[in-house]
A and B are shown apart, each in its own frame.
Chain A
Amino acid sequence: MRNVWIICRKELRSYFVSPVAYILLAMFAVIFGFFFWNILGYFVFRGMESQMRGQMMPMNVNEEVIRPLLSNVSVIGLFLIPMITMRLFAEEKRTGTIELLATSPVSDVEVILGKWLSAMVLYASMLLLTAINFLFIFRYGHPDWKPLVIGYLGLLLQAGALLAIGTFISTLTKNQIIAGAATFGVCLLLWVLEWVSGYETATWARVLSYMSVITHFESFAKGLLDAKDAIFYVTLIFFGLFLTARSMESLRWRS
């Protein structure tokens, strides 16, 4: 466990010493800020509209602001996650520092967990930025906080799964760009798989749509903690990290 923390701390240092972390945080803050401003603007506009018509439609901050915002965060995450994971192993392979890790008394699993955990911490610190925006909602409105917490949990689980897959892809190449592009492709695919459910209800379509990471986020965005969806993400995390471990092992037998 100590070794996991040593690796994790070293990775975090690398993220925060280089501009990587700051660029990601800044990009995320700007894009999320824009979404926040848009969705809030639309909410206010609808409120004024219904007031002018004199019909008092029930409006819910949780349903109409927080839920779409959380879904948006999950989509922005799809784009930023490759940038977080692409260097994790590819860079070590390119500079040869992987030899240091592989000849130190640490197990592959500890290295993998340390790296994945550092990616999780970076993603979590991105999420922390969104908390600033939500604070405004709590200052001027009275939303329910429980769905928000569950939403955040869902975001973390979803990101954990995609980060695990990104970590795996990063072990396959020495080239960060290739690792990043491939991870982006896989993330995007896992996202759009859900679309088939829009026009097809056959079993294959249901399976495909079930494999999409977006499908399982819907309940979290609503503020529902569904064990089925949580288990899906946790399974994906284990699967991704398991593949990473196998890939690390085969690296030794092949190279």
Chain B
Amino acid sequence: MITVTDLTKRYARHTAVDHISFEVHKGQIVGFLGPNGAGKTTTMRMLTCFLPPTSGNATVAGFDVLEQSFEVKKRIGYLPETPPLYPEMRTAEYLQFVGSLKGLAKAELAKRVDYVCERCAILDVKDKLLGKLSKGYRQRVGLAQAIIHNPDVLILDEPTSGLDPKQINETRELIKSLAGDHTILLSTHILPEVEQTCEQVIIINKGKLVATDSVSNLQNRARGAESLLVEVGARNGLMDPLKVQSSLELVPGVSRVHLKNKLDNRSIFEVESRKGLVRGDLARAVVEAGWDLNELRPTAVSLEEIFLQLTGEPAAAPAEEAVPAGVK
């Protein structure tokens, strides 16, 4: 549905988008992920024919964005970062205007307006002035205008920014429910959003493509390793966590042991290891040394870590990592 090859946008002083290529297939819902200023909006503006690319090309629904922009525009619904609403218009009136702008015939128009109002749950504000709507409603009217002409492709620029948690959930559900009929590309800098709504993710940073993969693959791929949480206890009085740590490090396959938390008679470690049978060896090592194994479980690597790894930004150190003074 969307094919992007070597797309580049250069401005006088900097390159906003630098030779990115990706593909979005029909019916997919794809997250376009990157920190602020990564070039997400610029890319989307090029896909919607708002900005012409400096070089490279992109096709939407088989039409080139530069050469056949008219055909592309007919087939996309676009929700910019701030919904493009006219404050002096009423909701229904506005949707009618957008619908006729997109080329809907008069007979169809009323039906489509009713349909999108219902779909986006804005029936109760149909006759209200857009300028008086709350942020959540504005966003939903924005979505409604994007789907009014039943486009093949939906391009949504940060559809959940600035909403409260309840509205964010509602909007996500709405977007997910639209996925069947439309191919959706949505940008965000919020990772859980991608994990929850998208099947495929495209990560860009500083204008460059960093990764493109399915969400589950990306989670698996993380380091090709797993991360385990091990809690070791001592039944008879105190134990030396450093001693435990060094014996855990001796287990084959373990690459790093990190003391996460130390309590009176138990310690919690984070163990990074190769995938495989390391868990059993770990358990044996603990028990054979005479300690108790209270807990041993894999911790899922969040997309956040992958993201930070890929974009090359150091992971923020969690507060609990600080080793308590008493350990020394």
Contacts and interface: CB of A to CB of B under 8 A. Distances in A.
B84 interface: yes
A6 B100 contact: yes
A211 to B, nearest CB: 35
Interface in B72-127: 73-74, 76, 78, 80-82, 84-89, 93, 97-98, 100-103
Interface of A: 2-3, 6-7, 10, 13-14, 17-18, 95-106, 252-253, 255
Contact of A99 (B52, B76, B78, B97): B78
B230 interface: no
B85 A97 contact: yes
Interface string B26-55: 000000000000000000010011111000
B51 A96 contact: no
A103 B87 contact: no
Interface of B: 45, 48-52, 70, 73-74, 76, 78, 80-82, 84-89, 93, 97-98, 100-103, 145
B166 to A, nearest CB: 25
Contacts of B81: 96
| Interface of A, helix, strand, loop or mixed by DSSP | helix
B101 A6 contact: yes
Contact of B98 (A18, A100, A252, A255): A100
A18 B74 CA distance: 31
Contacts of B100: 2, 6
Contacts of B145: 100
Contacts of B98: 100, 104
A253 B86 CA distance: 25
A105 B74 contact: yes
26 contacts: A6-B100, A6-B101, A10-B86, A10-B97, A13-B93, A14-B86, A17-B88, A18-B88, A95-B84, A95-B85, A95-B86, A96-B81, A97-B85, A99-B78, A99-B80, A99-B84, A100-B78, A102-B50, A103-B50, A103-B73, A104-B98, A104-B101, A105-B73, A105-B102, A252-B50, A255-B51
A106 B84 contact: no
A110 B89 CA distance: 21
B89 A103 contact: no
A106 B101 contact: yes
A191 to B, nearest CB: 32
Contact of B52 (A14, A17, A253): A253
| Interface of B, helix, strand, loop or mixed by DSSP | loop
A99 B102 contact: no
Contacts of B73: 103-105
A98 B98 CA distance: 12
Contacts of B85: 95, 97
Contact of A103 (B76, B93, B97): B76
A253 to B, nearest CB: 6
Contact of A105 (B52, B70, B87, B93): B70
B51 A103 contact: no
Contacts of B80: 96, 99-100
A103 B49 contact: yes
A18 B45 CA distance: 31
Contacts of B102: 104-105
A252 B51 contact: yes
B78 A103 contact: yes
Most buried by A among B51, B52, B101: B101
A7 B102 CA distance: 12
B88 A103 contact: no
A111 to B, nearest CB: 10
Given A103-B49, A104-B102, A105-B70, A6 B88 contact: no
